[in-house]
Structure 1
Amino acid sequence: MLPTLMTILKRQAPACVFSLAALCSLGAMAQSPGPLKLGIIGPMSGGSADFGQAMLNGIEIAVSEINAVGGYLGRPIELVVKDDKGDPETGLKMSEELVKVDKVVSTIGFCNTGVAIKAIPVFQSNQSPLIVPCAAGSPVTQQVEPAASYIFRVSPSEDIKAPFMVKDILRRGLNKVAIFADATPYGESGKNDVVKALAASNLKPVHVTSFPLGVKDLSTEMEAARAAGANVIIAYTVGPENAVIARSRAAVKWTAPLVGPWTLSFPNFIDTAGPAAEGTMTVQTFIAEPSNERRVAFLSAYKRMHKDSRMAVPMASAQGYDAVYLLTYSLFGIRDGRLTGPAIKAQLEDIKRVYYGVVATYDKPFSTASKDAVTENMLVMGLVRNGAVTFAYPEDAKRNLFVQRKTQ
């Protein structure tokens, strides 16, 4: 049975600190000015809908738990959901609506790096805090100097995933890398991060292919990569193009391992690629296995709320869930009830209480110097096996029993 938020908070919080549930109860006795509007934006339709909907599912679980114990000082959290369709122009328009029309107190969102980058100026110029639970391209938190930035992230940046991935393949003796990256900001930044990580070991990729979204076949490029002597393929794209990479590799009867970021755990890859996806390795923060009490509770809540035994993109759901709680913890640090953008930003940069999350234990996840909550020690390698993602290595499964904290 899933512990209630009240139970969890009582278990976690020291007696000398007001618990979130206690504050909710105190606020419920005061007059409520109405629901607290929280903006949500992501690809709810289109080629990236797999992780947009998964993100929303995780967010909805957290909000339902918080509202069950009184919301924010008696005010229920109300979600204002926008579909950016994975399109930068649509994302920009929807962001402006959230900030200027809907007047949300804060926003959680973005799955596509290019969409996030296009919209970030809206949040920054309006001093409206944004927490990014999915978009992983390195530039997302590099658009603005950290101390001034209103952009926070609980998704691991590619500039930590790429070195982690490269260290793993080199450990396995795979040192002749072919990179297949799409021509979007995500693909380009991911490719650059891999090149940089290889350079740290005095290596260069032996082959690089850049392709447009919508490509249907990459067999010719696969033959060229094999001819260049590649013994491993690193893929950087988001949508069904990942499946094109895997199927093209199979079409030329090449068995070089396929490795990549979390996008290789999406249904639009695993389901579409079918047998060609088997054995693929992917960098993960959260694998949907009951490795400890927190994760068991989250998986159970997900299954109950969404009536789905298969969590489509576990990382997106877990990171969306944690983002809601981090924001809520920051709101309760504002004692005068004035939920201005600068006030929320200041609290996010100095969250007083430790949040025991699903992905990590968040102890000072943000600061004026760092807007990324996830560090390399939180990463594990996942393996696609029988249509799902499991731990690639037994030692990672054991290490995952102990939830990691941010390393400075």
Structure 2
Amino acid sequence: MRYRDLCLRALAALAVAVAPTLVRAQGAAPLRIGFICPASGGSADFGTSARLGAELAVQEINEAGGFLGRPVQLVARDDQANPDRGRAVAEELVLKEKVEFTIGFCNTGVAMKSLDVFQDNKHLLLVPVSTGSAVTAKYPAAESFVFRLSPRDRVQAAFIVNDIVERRKLTKVAVFADRTGYGEGGFKDVVGFLAERGLQPVYTARFDLGVQSLAAEVQAAKAAGAQALVGYSVGPELAVLAQARRDAKYDGLMYGPWPMSFRTVWDKSGGGAEGALMVQSIIPNLANERRSSFIARLKRHAGSQSVASLMAAAQTYDAVHLMLRALFQTRGDGSAASLKHALENLDKPYVGVVTTYERPFSKADHDAFTMNMVWLGTWRSGEIRFQYPEDEKRASFIRRKQ
């Protein structure tokens, strides 16, 4: 039986199991889910991917009968990767549209500007894409209505530094980062983890979004003897770094967090991203039927639209299904307190496409990923592949949160 059919049967069975205990006073009124990500601007590549993942999940849920006969509706808003715009649409969804809960945010700076809208109004927010460490640190988890289903930057930075220093035994590292909240957080994380190993960067560079060239900076890093470059930014700027690496004929390693995997990086770097390494929660793997089936369905749903980030799409797809699982567990109680309790005490594992979420959250921890759950990916001839063959062999085994 295909994975999609198993998902639909599981949803239907779950609905039947809880239906007798629920009062269906709302009839066929749609269950409205808020969704916030950039659909335009420089971050549209991963915002569009996230939306496609959310749409596919909603489509499948509705094919299985929706939520107890109620169609599920995605109420989507474009935050334009702008913090002020992000806050405005957050207020619209929470205060005016009064959606059941919200899934959203790709950019850390945009998320940080809006978090108090959700917290102050006791409205549950599940972040499927943004990875800035501060997003789930602003409020103590025991009191917070903010959860995340993506590997936070402290996990990614630790993973990168571990590969550079522990696995490859390199000691000379250059760190590049943009000046946004995302870049600042990643820069501090990388430098901090290097310092724990008694190392300091041999060269650092900071730049603004929209930078057109980093050639001089890469040449300086090369002259400083850097054996590896770590770039912390988003797709377009990482493409600029990759292009500069190619032009400078820099033959050291280049690492980045998950945005290094954006299609933008490959397309705009003129091949400079070949061999670049990045943290990934999901990498295409033919041996994993669950993921292969999802990727095929996602491509059909996307049609002519580009899925620039498989991670953004897959994590958002899992986020929608996980929230519906929590809503079933509360027996239809959509209050933030009830949903928070359900997520912190998930009674049955959710078999997602990224991983199996057994106990993804607790009262003390609202981040679903630990370092053992991510992989090192690399660009090879325009495709993301596993860097290490042994990882590809192990990818079919479930990695649960430690």
**TM-score, scaled relative to structure 1:** 0.93
- Paired letter, 2:77: K
How far apart, in 2, do the equivalents of 1:81 and 1:56 lie? 8
1:223 has 2:219 as partner: yes
Q: Structure 1: where are the runs of 5+ without partners?
A: none
Tell me the secondary structure at the aligned position of residue 233 of structure 1. strand
- Cross-structure match for 2:301: 305
- Equivalent of residue 168 in structure 2, options 167, 172, 193: 172
- Equivalent of residue 385 in structure 2, options 367, 372, 390: 390
Tell me the secondary structure at the aligned position of residue 368 of structure 1. coil
Alpha-carbon RMSD across the aligned residues, in angstroms, is 2.0
Q: Structure 2: where are the runs of 5+ without partners?
A: none
Query: Which one is further off, 339-348 or 390-399?
Result: 339-348
How far apart, in 1, do the equivalents of 2:36 and 2:182 lie? 18
- Equivalent of residue 356 in structure 2, options 361, 374, 382: 361
How far apart, in 2, do the equivalents of 1:276 and 1:397 lie? 24
Percent identity (aligned): 46
Instruction: Detail structure 1 runs of 4+ shifted over 6 Å in the superposition.
Output: none
How far apart, in 1, do the equivalents of 2:358 and 2:309 lie? 25
Change (3 A) 1:346 1:202: same
1:10/1:19 contact within 8 Å kept: yes
How far apart, in 2, do the equivalents of 1:146 and 1:27 lie? 30
- Cross-structure match for 2:64: 69
CA-to-aligned-CA distance 1:75-105 (integer Å, 9 cap, x gap): 1110100000111111010100010111011
- Per-residue deviation at 1:9? 6.9
1:117 has 2:112 as partner: yes
Change (3 A) 1:303 1:223: closer
Tell me the secondary structure at the aligned position of residue 148 of structure 1. coil
1:21/1:69 contact within 8 Å kept: no
How far apart, in 2, do the equivalents of 1:28 and 1:303 lie? 36
How far apart, in 2, do the equivalents of 1:383 and 1:37 lie? 38
- Per-residue deviation at 1:300? 2.2
Tell me the secondary structure at the aligned position of residue 146 of structure 1. coil
How far apart, in 1, do the equivalents of 2:375 and 2:201 lie? 23
How far apart, in 2, do the equivalents of 1:103 and 1:2 lie? 36
Change (3 A) 1:298 1:66: same
Query: Which one is further off, 142-151 or 195-204?
Result: 195-204
Tell me the secondary structure at the aligned position of residue 128 of structure 1. coil
1:85 has 2:91 as partner: no
1:343 has 2:338 as partner: yes
- Per-residue deviation at 1:342? 1.4
- Equivalent of residue 376 in structure 1, options 362, 365, 371: 371
- Paired letter, 1:152: F
- Per-residue deviation at 1:290? 2.6
How far apart, in 2, do the equivalents of 1:309 and 1:83 lie? 17
1:359/1:403 contact within 8 Å kept: no
**TM-score, scaled relative to structure 2:** 0.95
How far apart, in 2, do the equivalents of 1:104 and 1:84 lie? 17
1:129/1:341 contact within 8 Å kept: yes
2:109/2:181 contact within 8 Å kept: yes
Tell me the secondary structure at the aligned position of residue 210 of structure 1. strand
- Cross-structure match for 2:31: 36
- Per-residue deviation at 1:29? 9.9
